Chain A
Amino acid sequence: MMLEILVLLVCVSILVSGVLAVCLDNLMAAMVSAGLASLFAAVSYVLLAAPDVAMAEAAIGSGLATLIFLYAIRRTGGGKEE
């Protein structure tokens, strides 16, 4: 029962950070939010007994992908409105 509540909490967090990543106007904040969604997904994989997948998701989804977004935002003007 505890585990189910925890999984549901993590799933709600994935949804919230995903929606925030789409809705936020500040690109930097949206990028961090997208990385956060990945990180919560990794936590949910651990809770569902798949640590192998969780490791790859945490390193690639929330680490490398966020960094590539960061470089892209910086190269295209820092996310400032034209």
Chain B
Amino acid sequence: MRTVFSILAVAMFAVIFAGIVGDYGERESVSELARQYLTLVPGDLGAANVVTGILITYRGFDTLGEVAVLFMVAASVGLLLSGGEGETHTADADKPRRPSELVENGTVVILPLIFLFGGYVIMNGHLSAGGGFQGGAVVASGTMLLMLALPATRLNHGFLSVTESLAGVVYVSIGILGLVFAAGFLDSHILPLGDFGTLISAGAIPVISALLGIKVGAELSVIIDRFRS
């Protein structure tokens, strides 16, 4: 019975996606909206990376919602998985199993590079591919490697929570500043645009990107650590 239902569900998906795949054709020109974005983002916002410009300024409210969802996930994971006496017991039982020498030493070499790359992706979000969200995810995957290779490390949850909350507060404050000094909520024109293509340019986009990176990195790290303990 269950197999029949599964096959039915797969067949329904196949029908839905067959329509999409059948209509697919390579676009010869960009759509009107895309052209608007492609001219507006470098000119009006001063950001070389169009995707980040859209995500942080024009769709800034959506990004705020995304981060809020992530915050809620981190909070509920913390609520569900923290506490309980059984958990500390299993954590102790896992302790004697150490990873191999190779993994440990490799981690020591490669971990700073991963964090550096995360910081690079965050700070160059307005210039090259990446941005706060992606850089935060890279930093969190560095934390993941740290936990796999050196299981004895403990994360300071209090520090991470305070950092993350502060980043969120500053993020929303910048949004409100945009409401006061510029055209609207999360408008990046509150800071001067600067020279196109340099590290400090594109108004408030690098600042918001850095805050997003801190917030996402801290949240994802806390989520993984909750699952571990």
Instruction: Check if A64 sits within 8 Å of B220, measured CB to CB.
Output: yes
B144 — which chain A residues lie within 8 A by C-beta? Answer: 63-64, 67
Question: For residues 90 through 145 of chain B, which have their beta carbon under 8 Å from a beta carbon of chain A?
Answer: 90, 94, 121, 129-131, 133-134, 137-138, 140-141, 144
Question: For residues 50 through 79 of chain A, which have their beta carbon under 8 Å from a beta carbon of chain B?
Answer: 51-52, 55-56, 59-60, 63-64, 67-68, 71-72, 74-75
A interface, over-half SS: helix
Instruction: Check if A52 sits within 8 Å of B130, measured CB to CB.
Output: yes
Instruction: Check if B227 sits within 8 Å of A71, measured CB to CB.
Output: yes
- Considering the chains assembled together, what is the distance between the CA atoms of A60 and B140 in angstroms? 9
* Residue tally, chain A, CB below 8 Å to B: 14
B interface, over-half SS: helix
Instruction: Check if B141 sits within 8 Å of A59, measured CB to CB.
Output: yes
B148 — which chain A residues lie within 8 A by C-beta? Answer: 67
Instruction: Check if B134 sits within 8 Å of A67, measured CB to CB.
Output: no
Supposing A64-B220, A68-B224 touch, asked if A56 and B129 sit within 8 A by C-beta, the answer is no
Supposing A52-B51, A55-B138, A59-B138 touch, asked if A64 and B133 sit within 8 A by C-beta, the answer is no
Instruction: Check if A67 sits within 8 Å of B138, measured CB to CB.
Output: no
A residues in contact (CB < 8 Å) with B: 51-52, 55-56, 59-60, 63-64, 67-68, 71-72, 74-75
B residues in contact (CB < 8 Å) with A: 49, 51-52, 90, 94, 121, 129-131, 133-134, 137-138, 140-141, 144, 148, 220, 223-224, 227-228
The 5 closest A-B pairs by CB, nearest first: A59-B137, A51-B129, A55-B134, A63-B141, A59-B141
